[in-house]
Structures are given as C-alpha cells and as structure tokens.
Structure 1
Amino acid sequence: MYAVFKRELFSLLNSLMAYITIGIFLLAAGLLLWFFPDTSILDYGYAELTGFFSLAPFLFMFLIPAICMRSFAEERREGTYILLATRPLTSWQIIGAKYFACLVLVVFSLVPTLIYGYTISKLAMPAGNVDTGAIIGSYIGLLLLGAAFTAIGIFASSITKNQVIAFAVAVFLCFIMYNGFDAMAKMALLTGLQDLFMFLSVNEHYQSISRGVLDTRDAVYFLTLVFFFLLLTHFTIGGRKW
C-alpha cells in the first residue's frame, strides 16, 4: 500500500495542475481575506479569522475535486488500472493509498494559511489578543471537512473515465452535502425531517467545531461520511472488470 501511496503522491506533486490549483486556492483566499472590501479583515475591524473559515469550505469545493479528479479516472482512461490490480493488493489498499495521497496534498495547501493566524495575532490590540481556541477548532474543522470532501472526490473519480465529469460530479456532491441539506431543512414541513436534514448537513457539524468546542459527535459524523464514500468507491471499483 505504501508503494502505491508514494507513487500516487509523487504523481500529484509532479503534476502542474496540482500546483496551479493550490496556487489559485491560496490567491483566492488571500484576496478575499485582505483585499476585497466586503470580506477584508482590515475593513472588518476585528482580529479574527471568521471570514477565512467561512469562505474556505466554498474554495475547498473546487480545490479538492480538482486534486482528486485524476485518481481513478485517469487510470481507467489510460488502461493502467489493470497493472495496479494485478499486484498483491486489495481494493481497499488501493483506495486508501489514493485517498491519503490526495489528503496529504490538501493538508499541504492549508499549511501556508497558518501565516494568517500569526498575522492576526500581531495586528490585534494588544498583540496576541485573539481567540486561539476558535482558530485551532476551525482548522480542525477544515481538516475534517477536507477529509470528507476528499472521499467524495475519490468516489466521483471512480465512476467515470472523464476527469472533467469527475470534477463536476464531485463539486455537485460537495455542494449538496455542505449546503443542500440546510436548504432542505428550511423547506421541510415536518419537524422530524428538519432535525434529520440538519444532522446530515456538513455545514452544521463544521460550524459546531469552528466554535472551538470539539464534540465527539461531530468527529464521528465526519469519519462516518469518509467511510461511507470510500465504501461506495469500493463497491464501484469492485463491481467492474477493468
């Protein structure tokens, strides 16, 4: 499994698309956080990163599908998956290797944003007067959100040979999981359905963690979501004779 993980990670790191995607993510985050008047921290007047953590999930909806779209789709298109499948590896090991390779790249894309927390700490009056717990909780929430979106991206890549279609399907699924259930909860006529849709909403659990309070129910929700989409991926690749 490690060999496949290393092969997949090096393949991503050698891909110009990965660097372009991460560069666009960081550029968009920087512009929205510091320059655009409606979302700028400097215009907001408070030393906090709420704006960044509110915008990051929507940037993730495009960043992560772009990273994951080639994982299985390219293997199917080029016919190289058969070479991988002939190795003494289970489908779970192949899925896990590709999943963690993509997740590592997502983590790499978040590392440069840590400078935002340092900058905010220095801009605060007095210096260092920031809600560190909320910032740490929000980053943990982003990591869990990235893990869930990565699993969705891997699943979308497993159902098609076309990377563009895989990207579009992943963006759609991420949007539905993040915002769709919230909209359904507002439209639901029965209270029981409202509670169900709110529980299924990724946004609800992400906002809960972003408050700085780590609830095991939120962590279990994200881990369950990751396992669910990886299980769907397992059924998808296991049900085909490539």
Structure 2
Amino acid sequence: MFAILKKEFNSFFSSTIGYLIISIFLIATGLFIWVFDSNFNLFNYGYANLTPFFELMPWIFIFLIPAICMKSFSDEIKQGTIELLFTKPISTRAMIYGKFLGAFSLSTIAVIPTVIYIFSIDALKQATSIIDYSAIATSYLGLLLMIGAFVSISLFSSVLSKNQISAFIIGVFICLIMFFAFAGLSTYQIFASEIYGIEYLSLSYHYKAMSRGVIDTRNIIYLVSISILFLELTKVKLEKLRQ
C-alpha cells in the first residue's frame, strides 16, 4: 500500500500537476473569500468566523477531486498497465487504499495553507469579537472527512470508464448527488418526514453539522462510512476486471 502511495505522491509532485492543483485551489479560494462580491466573501459576511469558507469548500472540491482522481484507474485500464499491478504481490484493497491516500494527501496539503485565514479574521475582527477556535477546528475535521468521501467516490468513478473525461463527469455527478440531492429531496413535503430519513443520507447534512462546531460521532461515522463504501465498491469492480 505504501509503495502505491509513494508512487501516487511522486506522480503528483515529480511534474507540475500537484503544484498546479494546489495553486488553482488556493487562487480560487482566495478570490471567492477576499475578492469576488459573493456570499462567500468574508468582508460581506460581517462576522469573525470562517463559515463562508467552509460553505465554499464543497463547491470547489466537487470539481477538483474528480479532476485529481480521474486517471487513477481509467488511465491504467486504458493502457493495460492495470494488468501489471494485478501481477504484483499486493492486494486489490491495498492498491485502492494506496491511491486513496495519495489523492487525500494532495487535497489535504492544498487545504493546509488556508489556516492563515484564521489569523486574517483575527486581525480584522473588532476588539469585542470572539473567535470560536474549537468550532473552526471541528469544521476543518468535517472538511477532511468530506474530502475523504469525495476521493473515494472519485476513485470509484475512475474504474467505471477508460476515458478520463468520462470518469471526471461521473465523479462530479455522483459527488453532486451524494452532497446535494438527498438534502434537496427532503425539502419536498412528501419526503419531509423524519420517517424517511432522506436528509440524513446527504453528505451536506453531516458536513454542515460539523461546520457548526458540533462533534457528533454519528456525523463522523457517516462520513467515514461513505468513504469505506465507495472504496469497497471500487474493490468489487476491480476484482471483476482481475478475473
């Protein structure tokens, strides 16, 4: 697994890909948070917290992570190099988790510089304002768990097509469904009752709960479970290719 992780990590940073992805993320985030006149602008928000930042993150990662992962397996399948991986003394699960950790690490590295935003709002806040650092820490934990879910979904999408663009589109579509669709359905009266529990199937419900600074093991378990579910679905699909 660690050999695959090292290979993935080196592939990101031995070329400009890793640096380009991190740069795009930081530039896009900076523009929305500080420059563009939008709901995500911290100046427009008027409060000393990073709520707009955490509301923006799903929109960026829904597109960025499928772009990172789109060739993880689709390229290997198209070029036939997946057969070489199958001949190596490594389990399918270890192969998948190695690629997962590679993409997750790159995404996490991209997020780390945004910690400076905490110091920025601290410098800009009024003397009477208080920053809830524990809520920010919980929000970052929720963000990392959401990233893990998006990475696992995107890896699964990558085994569904030999074409990178198709894998990207499938990844974006599933991420959108998992994050927004169930929450959207719960707004309709027919599904509004808690009996159906539609809202609880949404990634956004659990992510937003953590973004409010709420540490609830149910939210953590759900987000981790989604990651494991799609990684196992990826394993099932690869095992079929291996036979």
Give TM-score scaled by structure 2 length. Answer: 0.94
Asked whether the 8 Å contact 1:185–1:194 carries over to 2, the reply is no
Q: What does residue 13 of structure 2 align with?
A: 13
Pair 1:238 & 2:227 matched: no
Q: Which secondary structure state, in structure 2, belongs to the residue aligned with residue 129 of structure 1? A: coil
Q: What does residue 210 of structure 1 align with?
A: 211
Per the TM alignment, residue 15 of structure 1 is displaced from its structure 2 partner at its CA by 3.9
Q: What does residue 121 of structure 1 align with?
A: 122
Matching residue's letter, 2:83: I
Pair 1:154 & 2:155 matched: yes
Q: What does residue 91 of structure 2 align with?
A: 90
> CA separation in 1, counterparts of 2:19 and 2:55?
23
Per the TM alignment, residue 9 of structure 1 is displaced from its structure 2 partner at its CA by 1.2
Per the TM alignment, residue 215 of structure 1 is displaced from its structure 2 partner at its CA by 0.4
After superposition, the C-alpha distances for 1:92-115 in whole angstroms (9 at most, x for unaligned) are 010111111111001011011111
Q: What does residue 27 of structure 2 align with?
A: 27
After superposition, the C-alpha distances for 1:35-85 in whole angstroms (9 at most, x for unaligned) are 112232123322211111101111010111111111111111221111111
Query: Can you give the 5+ residue segments of structure 2 that lack an aligned partner in the other structure?
Result: none
Moved more, 180-189 or 88-97: 180-189
Alignment of 1:123-202 (within 5 A): 123-126=124-127, 129-187=130-188, 189-192=190-193, 195-202=196-203
* Aligned residue pair count: 242
> CA separation in 1, counterparts of 2:197 and 2:14?
43
Q: Which secondary structure state, in structure 2, belongs to the residue aligned with residue 4 of structure 1? A: helix
Matching residue's letter, 2:66: P
Q: What does residue 60 of structure 1 align with?
A: 61
After superposition, the C-alpha distances for 1:202-226 in whole angstroms (9 at most, x for unaligned) are 0000011111121000010011101
Q: Which secondary structure state, in structure 1, belongs to the residue aligned with residue 53 of structure 2? A: helix
Give TM-score scaled by structure 1 length. Answer: 0.94
Matching residue's letter, 1:142: L
Moved more, 221-230 or 4-13: 4-13
Q: Which secondary structure state, in structure 2, belongs to the residue aligned with residue 179 of structure 1? A: helix
Asked whether the 8 Å contact 1:48–1:120 carries over to 2, the reply is yes
> CA separation in 2, counterparts of 1:160 and 1:85?
18
Asked whether the 8 Å contact 1:186–1:194 carries over to 2, the reply is no
> CA separation in 1, counterparts of 2:73 and 2:191?
40
Q: Which secondary structure state, in structure 1, belongs to the residue aligned with residue 99 of structure 2? A: helix
Moved more, 30-39 or 51-60: 30-39
Per the TM alignment, residue 18 of structure 1 is displaced from its structure 2 partner at its CA by 3.3
**Cα–Cα, structure 1 residues 163 and 209, in superposed 2: closer, same or farther, change >3 Å?**
same
Matching residue's letter, 2:200: F
